[in-house]
A and B are shown apart, each in its own frame.
Chain A
């Protein structure tokens, strides 16, 4: 018996080595990229795709590990983006009109009633909401805290009421559309359709992070690696394993004494926090926040990136998002390819769902499994005695 357990451990160990190898390689490449590429415009672009990679991680965490398909992840991304952008907007020179020392967003001035006091307190009815955002760290903190709060309230109501499956997807989808409309409608406070543009730069200890600067790339890349490792740790804990059990069979998990909803709420909320963090980094790199972050297309696209990369794999989903966007950016340089690419990507989505439901990561796992078998040469799985 000890023989059989040892032999069944071999592919496991091989898998684990391959797994950590891929993580190490990924982190090395992401952090080492500036040494290979000194074009800051491309580095800036890639920084944005790394942010999408972070969204891939958020999706894999909630969809792959918790079995909760969130079609409204753009909500948390958008909230994170807006919170950050509000602070950076007030730091922008465009907010200091005519040598004034009190920052007021330019769009508020343009739309202000004649004679209104040009101060955040009362230039319009909602402008007081901007007051705390004069501190950059408030905006940055809110970029994560607000998504966490919203996600906690939302997921508590959903999972306590035991809403599941498609219905969760539809609620999250309706909510992101709802918030998008509210932001568009609150034009005086949010600049509506146009979103927040002409932002200042993130400033830490007097250092200004120009988006087209290798340091800014490192901020994004370092954050991505941290989030990846954090997520990896989370799913490796006992709680991560219990979460996966609730995905497979919530009833069985309940009968083992676990409060299934608590696990779902926790991981849904963490996933939302990651999306909010991604929104923050996106604004730092891309210098704008827009209601289009809450378009349904964007939220579904995230899910599709994760599906192509592998919904059950954090790094797979992350790579899927980065690869698809990098390829898209490369081929979009020429007009003909740009149009043709959309046909190709549509086709890829269909084919992946039909023939590769575990995505690229599944393919890689099958490959290492196959290699492991070849190495041992013999009958792989000790099949159950019938």
Chain B
């Protein structure tokens, strides 16, 4: 299997405080990796480093063999990294359909986009995503008026429309009802295989629903890595979680 994302000794130093410290892992193509860890373990910072929001101070990130370390966000995105934020981030003044259309345009440049209509392939892709995310009835709605769950699905839908090869999901079920969480798990399971996915998540029920391999972070470092059962039995993980009452 090809390697999708390889992170090697990634470090960021905020004036003495290392939020991510010498983090190394390899994510296979089509894998779904869950990143666990107590608050402040550096999970969101790790995503910031991969996606270019924060500049790392050491180490490398490779995407399908291409180095993307510390490139600008939009370049990393063009290489195929898509990101979903913890607080849903969609274009609130545009309609749901327009949101997807923005995500669908394969051309990044200004001048190539000076045309009125979409390419047929892009439109088909949008239609498939609409079906997957059940957003059909609200296509004409302004995104800012969607329910919390719908907004999350729209954002997920945008990542798929964008054709991101590696998808970073930051707590996709935060603030969701049980039914919404279930639907989200369904969408994510549908992405498995065709996309490589990195998920930061606290909700253990949800993690059990989707997880294959798990990386546990603690104080910016990689503490353990492996399948669910192995992680749950790991004494170091139990110790790290003692303060927050262990894994539930």
Contacts and interface: CB of A to CB of B under 8 A. Distances in A.
Interface of A: 1, 4-5, 8-9, 11-12, 233-234, 236-239, 241-242, 244-245, 247-249, 251-260, 262-263, 266, 381-382, 384-386
8 smallest CB-CB distances across A and B, nearest first, come from: A239-B113, A257-B77, A8-B140, A238-B113, A248-B91, A254-B73, A257-B78, A245-B102
Interface string B97-118: 0110111010111110111101
Given A236-B116, A255-B74, 19 more contacts: A8-B140, A233-B116, A238-B107, A238-B118, A241-B94, A241-B102, A242-B105, A244-B93, A244-B94, A247-B93, A248-B91, A249-B90, A252-B90, A253-B91, A256-B74, A256-B158, A257-B108, A262-B110, A381-B141
A237 B114 contact: yes
Contacts of A252: 85, 89-91
Interface string B65-105: 00000001110011000110100011111100011011101
A385 B137 contact: yes
Interface string B114-156: 1110100000000000000000111111000111001000000
Given A249-B92, A255-B77, A241 B101 contact: yes
B184 interface: no
B215 interface: no
Contact of B74 (A12, A241, A258): A258
B162 interface: yes
Contacts of B109: 259, 262
Nearest to A234: B114
A63 to B, nearest CB: 14
Given A248-B92, A249-B89, A255-B73, A4 B113 contact: no
A43 B151 CA distance: 52
Contact of A4 (B72, B83, B136, B158): B136
Contacts of A249: 89-92
A247 B237 CA distance: 43
Given A236-B116, A249-B89, A384 B77 contact: no
B51 interface: yes
Interface in B218-233: none
Contacts of A382: 137-138
Contacts of B89: 249, 251-252
Given A239-B114, A255-B77, A262-B109, A5 B102 contact: no
A242 B102 contact: yes
Contacts of B53: 251
A157 B231 CA distance: 50
Interface in B37-83: 51, 53, 72-74, 77-78, 82-83
Given A237-B115, A386-B147, A259 B74 contact: yes
B147 A384 contact: yes
Contacts of B93: 244, 247-248
B110 A266 contact: yes
A157 B74 CA distance: 18
